[in-house]
Structure formats: structure tokens, C-alpha cells
């Protein structure tokens, strides 16, 4: 019974009509995040490296042509770097609309880019008029672009208009600037992955690269963010050099000497009298004989000191101060030597004994 039901279901399904529909759903792999991947691979046929940049990096002397979204040069520093590079022979291609990586290749509508006045001023100095809204006249369209006496079939539409000074607004303009060139393309879709294979888009890209005065690297910039590691690489090394110099100076001031280690002279095994005296005082202190050793010395000093004070006519003077002046030692030490009952350790016993011997010596 189950077999018959399964056979019936198969016959019903195979008897139904269906229609095959192909639908584009997007890219896979690197093309999902890099709209210029096809253009980059197309440019690999030329001499020089093809650079794909996700964040802003100033062009170098060995870069020949750069494709840059017009929204990226947003401050005076970027503009100054680009102008200097163009003056020395670089070819700058500014892409106005549909130039950022977030734009969809399946939509003809995109957010208008934010173009800074400093960028428009740079283009004006070069002889290019760029109007982001084309003076409100609607879309600017072009089916052909003429460049260096050649005509290229394209499919370009843009809300922005560009032209040489005094010319008619269109989607493409290119002028010499110094030793280099500045090119503005208002519809960047013709170089994006989905459109570069249509009409003469790839041929126009080839013509722009060929128009570059010098051979070198080809760069495609996808964004305007700043890289933390790039900033550290470019700007941290002076700080590290300064810290290294400060460390070297600190070591030089802290170390007692530099140079090869010299052999040290071995100390004499013979011990001095002060060492034997300290050892003897430590031995007597450990046997708790400090009081027995100090009392005879104190009695002699008190007896002789009072007698000498009386002969000197200073009977009424402070006895401790009299002894301190005679021995030329502080009054506190004289008081401690005569009054302290039991020294706290062997070192104090040794110092007290030395002070008592000094007093006894000056009283003779």
C-alpha cells in the first residue's frame, strides 16, 4: 500500500509544469566588498603593481594613476597631497557618484556624495567645473565619451555634471595639470564589476591608464577611513626613537662605569682593630654583660669630671654640658653614654663604649 502511494506521488509531481527563472542575487568572494575587483584584474596587464586600498593613503612618487571617490578628499591636507602628486606627473581620476563600496550595482539610485568646497576649488584651479546637482536640470546622460581624439561608447547617467571651464556639462572631463592629469567621471558604474564588461567601458579604462605620463603603480581607493596601524607606522617611530634616546641617556647617567670589566683586588684577610672591637662588644652584649662593662667607666668619668669641674670654678654648671664641651661631642650622646642602663643591641654598646673612652681620655 505504501509503495503504491509513493508511486502515485512521483507521477503527480513529474506531471506538473515548471518555469526556470534566473535571478541575480549578488557577488561572491572578494567582489562583495571590492567593486573595482574586475578593473584591478584588468589593470594587471600593465607594468607596475595594482594597489587596492580600503583606507586613505597618500599617493607615493612611484604611483602612476589613482582612482579615488570624490568624497574622499575631504580636507586641505588630502587636497595638498593630491595636488603635489599630480604636479609631479600623477594621474588622478575622481569618481563622483556610485564610487563607494557600499553602493549597489543593481540600483541606479544612490545617495549624492558629499563634496567639500576644497575639492571644488582644486578642480577650479585645474580648469574643471563640477556641479553636484547639474544646476537642477535633472540627469546628465551620455552614450559616448570623447577622450584624446577617440570616441568610446558608454552607458552613463548622473545627477552631477562636469565640464572644462566654459564647456557643456557632461559626465566626463579631463585636463592637464602641471606634469600630470586630473580626470573627473561623474558616473563610476562604468568601471564597477557589473558594468565594466559592457560597451567600451574597459577600453575607456585602458585609455585613461595609457594617458598617464609615467609608468608606475595603479591604485584603486575604496574608502576614506583611517587605519590605526597605518598611523602608528607613519607617526609612532619618531616617538620610539625619542624614547630610545632617553633610555640610553638614563643608562649612561645611572651606570657607575662603562667599558670592559677589570679584575678586582682581593681584600686582605687581616681584620682591623675596630672589627675586633665590634666583635668583642657583640660577644659581651650577647652574654648580657653590658652593665658590668659600662659601670666602672661611668664611675671614673663622673668622679674625675666633678673634680675637674670644681677646679675650673664651674661647680654650678650643667655637668653633662660641661663634659660635652670638653669632649666636643653632642650633649645627647654624653647623656646616653652616662645614663642609658642597657644598650638595645651590640652596635649601640660599641658606640656607647667609644663615647665613654673619649670622655675618659679628655678628663686625664
pLDDT band at 171 (very low <50, low <70, confident <90, very high): very high
Residues whose CB is less than 8 angstroms from the CB of residue 97 and which lie 6 or more positions away in sequence, other chains included: 110, 112, 113, 158, 159, 160, 186, 187, 188
The residues pairing with 68 across neighbouring beta strands, listed in sequence order, are: 94
Cβ burial, residue 149 (10 Å; 0-12/13-18/19+): exposed
Please, what is the average pLDDT of the chain? Answer: 79
Could you please report the per-residue DSSP string of 178-208?
TTEEEEEEEEGGGGSTTTTTSTTHHHHHHHH
Pairing of the two strands 150-158 and 140-147: antiparallel
Strand ranges (E), 204-323? 217-221
Question: In the chain, what percentage of residues exceed pLDDT 70?
Answer: 76
pLDDT in tens, 270-289: 555 556 656 666 666 566 56
Report pTM.
Answer: 0.57
Q: How far apart are CA 100 and CA 71, in angstroms?
A: 9
Greater confidence (151 vs 112) lies with 151
pLDDT band at 115 (very low <50, low <70, confident <90, very high): confident
The residues pairing with 97 across neighbouring beta strands, listed in sequence order, are: 187
Quote the pLDDT of residue 282.
66
Return the C-alpha torsion angle 29, 32, 33, 39, nearest 10. Answer: 90
Amino acid at each position: 500500500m505504501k509503495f503504491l502511494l509513493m508511486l502515485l506521488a512521483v507521477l503527480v509531481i513529474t506531471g506538473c509544469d515548471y518555469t526556470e527563472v534566473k535571478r541575480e542575487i549578488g557577488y561572491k568572494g572578494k567582489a562583495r566588498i571590492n567593486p573595482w575587483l574586475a578593473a584591478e584584474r584588468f589593470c594587471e596587464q600593465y607594468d607596475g603593481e595594482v594597489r587596492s586600498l580600503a583606507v586613505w593613503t597618500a599617493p607615493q612618487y612611484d604611483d602612476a594613476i589613482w582612482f579615488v571617490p570624490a568624497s574622499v578628499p575631504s580636507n586641505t591636507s588630502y587636497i595638498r597631497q593630491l595636488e603635489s602628486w599630480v604636479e609631479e606627473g600623477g594621474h588622478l581620476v575622481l569618481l563622483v557618484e556610485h564610487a563607494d563600496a557600499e553602493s549597489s550595482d543593481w540600483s541606479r539610485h544612490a545617495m549624492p556624495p558629499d563634496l567639500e568646497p576644497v575639492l571644488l576649488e582644486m578642480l577650479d584651479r585645474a580648469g574643471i567645473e563640477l556641479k553636484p546637482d547639474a544646476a537642477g536640470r535633472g540627469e546628465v546622460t551620455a552614450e559616448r565619451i570623447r577622450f584624446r581624439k577617440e570616441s568610446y561608447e558608454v552607458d552613463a547617467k548622473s545627477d552631477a555634471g562636469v565640464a572644462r571651464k566654459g564647456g557643456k556639462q557632461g559626465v566626463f572631463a579631463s585636463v592637464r595639470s602641471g606634469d600630470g592629469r586630473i580626470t573627473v567621471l561623474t558616473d563610476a558604474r562604468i568601471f564597477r564589476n557589473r558594468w565594466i564588461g559592457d560597451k567600451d567601458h574597459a577600453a575607456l579604462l585602458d585609455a585613461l591608464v595609457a594617458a598617464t605620463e609615467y609608468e608606475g603603480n595603479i591604485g584603486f581607493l575604496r574608502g576614506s577611513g583611517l587605519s590605526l596601524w597605518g598611523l602608528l607606522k607613519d607617526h609612532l617611530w619618531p616617538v620610539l626613537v625619542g624614547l630610545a634616546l632617553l633610555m640610553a641617556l638614563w643608562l649612561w647617567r645611572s651606570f657607575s662605569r662603562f667599558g670592559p670589566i677589570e679584575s678586582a683586588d682581593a681584600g686582605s684577610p687581616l681584620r682591623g682593630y675596630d672589627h675586633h672591637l665590634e666583635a668583642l662588644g657583640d660577644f659581651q652584649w650577647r652574654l648580657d654583660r653590658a652593665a658590668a662593662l659600662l659601670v666602672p667607666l661611668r664611675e671614673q668619668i663622673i668622679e674625675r669630671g666633678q673634680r675637674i669641674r670644681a677646679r675650673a670654678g664651674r661647680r654650678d654648671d650643667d655637668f653633662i654640658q660641661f663634659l660635652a664641651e670638653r669632649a666636643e661631642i653632642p650633649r645627647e650622646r654624653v647623656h646616653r653614654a652616662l645614663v642609658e642602663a642597657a644598650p638595645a643591641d651590640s652596635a649601640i654598646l660599641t658606640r656607647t663604649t667609644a663615647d665613654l673612652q673619649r670622655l675618659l681620655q679628655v678628663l686625664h
